[in-house]
Structure 1
Amino acid sequence: MTVQLLRIGDDIVAIHAIVTDEGVTLIDAGLSGDLGIIRSALRAVGRTLDDIRGVVLTHGDGDHIGVAERLRSDHGVPIHILGADSALATGASPARGVKPDGWRLGPALQFVWRGLRRGGLRTIHPTEIRQMSDGDVLDLPGRPEIIAIPGHTPGSAAIRVPEADALFLGDAITTRHVLTGARGARLAPFSDDPARTRVSLERLRDLPETRIFPGHGPEFAGTAAALLDELGRV
């Protein structure tokens, strides 16, 4: 089976798509104005929004649920998320009020400006979701495996796609801090419990995948063990 990995968006807020002969799985859904860039990225590989078979959310924050509801309501695409983040994603519980761990004016303004241009003020919460569980292998293109890594949020998930040699970590880590511009692997800002994130990430240490993708920042080229070793030096 042919498997292609698309990176959509940018290092400020990234979306990823797993494209196979069976269709497309979207990993996270960006911001509410991102439907156009997703459509364009799929068109470039001969696909359309109707080829999306499911959206898998790494967690329920507003800059990850973006166009999920549009895809569900207009194209019948199911939305999957760990149960512990269901209320956050649907808006049944209020948005988190976690304070940043540091910031610099330039990078912080760039983050805010990019977010505004991509619809960051118009959060559209999914009205229907499918709760996934730790250890699930979803019947979607790429057969994504779900690994619970609570810490950034209670329902944060790592999404493992062995067919693409890829591991998606959402906001458990960042390789480009959105508020300081700092490069390199580190725990992401706005986390509920950074210490718990470090413990959760140890579950991934023995995984063989060599392409690791955060929700913010460029790809980390290396295994989870190499990532964890780098995090240990920060």
Structure 2
Amino acid sequence: MELAPNLRRIGSDVVSAYLVETPEGITVIDAALPGHWRDLVAELASMGRSLDDVRGVVLTHGDSDHVGFAERLRREHGVPVYVHAADAERAKGGPKPKGGKQRMRIGALLGFVAYSLRKGGARPVWLQEVVEVHDGDVLDLPGAPQVIAMPGHSPGSIAVWVPAVDAVFVGDGLTTRHVLTGAVGPAPAPFTDEPAQAIASLGALLPTGATWVLPGHGAPFHGGVAAAVAAVEAAAR
């Protein structure tokens, strides 16, 4: 789905990933679930592109519903996969803390589980190799994505700022559709390791001034990063 020139989303409001296009090729931000592979191939074809045009995958963190098809791209097409050093082991299937008690509504939960199962979520494909990144890195990929450390959801959670498309990709730094309750609008994401730290990290997004705020779960937010952060902070209170 085209959001703006050179900016696309695959997946749905339940789980999504993003594509940034430049003449040099494609940067993929997050890799959703393994079954989104077909969505990726179809979206590239609609752009007149192919898997050979993908230059890199940048993961906002190492959870299974963001790792998705990344290892397949790496193994079959030689595409490097970038993840923050603090989440490198998580992206390889390493341990993660058990989440605290979560608010949920049974209908929303069942919808999330059913969608995940249809897209291969029951059998995650973990990374075998990653390229580690750090706060402030500017990656040599289409769109020159910039790494913003956003610890909280996980130790190595990041946002990815791409000035070329006026968008900041936030992973689970915030959500606009709570996968366990179905509530819509900017809010803290569930399954967060350190909720207070995640809220504090939101301030790092503000200097981007981005118009698009693009989460891994929920509708794209086009109202500007300041409004999104303020809404999440209000919801957290």
| Category of TM-score, reference length = shorter chain | over 0.9
- 2:19 is aligned to 17
Q: Could you report, residue by residue, the CA deviation over 1:79-136 in whole angstroms, capped at 9, with x for unpaired residues?
A: 0000000010012x22442135200011100000000000001111111100011000
In structure 1, distance between residues paired with 2:122 and 2:179: 17
Q: Equivalent pairs: percent with the same residue?
A: 48
Distance in structure 1 (CA, Å) of the matches to 2:61 and 2:155: 9
1:116 maps to which residue? Answer: 117
Long gaps (5+) in structure 2: none
- Kindly report structure 1 stretches of 4+ aligned residues shifted beyond 4 Å: none
Between 224-233 and 146-155, report the one with greater CA deviation: 224-233
Which deviations, in whole Å up to 9, do the C-alpha atoms of 1:158-189 show, x marking residues without a partner?
00000001000000100010010001110000
Question: Kindly tell me: are residues 100 and 76 of structure 1, through their superposed partners in 2, closer, same or farther at Cα, counting changes over 3 Å?
Answer: farther
Matching of residues 86-165 of structure 1 within 5 Å: 86-91=88-93, 93-165=94-166
Q: Distance in 2 between matches of 1:126 and 1:5?
A: 25
TM-score (norm 1): 0.96
In the TM superposition, what is the alpha-carbon distance from 1:223 to its structure 2 partner?
Answer: 2.2
Contact 1:54 1:79 in 2 (8 A): yes
RMSD across aligned positions (CA):
1.2
Show CA shifts across 1:38-89 (max 9, x none).
Answer: 0001100101111100000000000000111100010000000000000100
Unaligned segments of structure 1, at least 5 residues: none
The number of residues matched between the two structures is: 232
2:32 maps to which residue? 30
Give me the whole-angstrom Cα distance separating, in 2, the residues matched to 1:233 and 1:171: 17
CA spacing shift, 1:39–1:191, aligned 2, 3 Å: same
Kindly provide the amino acid, as one letter, of the partner of residue 28 in structure 2: L
In structure 1, the residue matched to 2:48 is: 46
Whether the aligned pair in 2 keeps the contact of 1:55 and 1:79 (CA below 8 Å) is: yes
Q: Are the counterparts in 1 of residues 199 and 233 from structure 2 also a CA contact under 8 Å?
A: no
Shift of 1:230: 1.2
Q: Distance in 1 between matches of 2:78 and 2:97?
A: 28
Distance 1:114 1:99 in 2: 23
SS in 1 for 2:137: coil
SS state of the match for residue 205, structure 1? helix
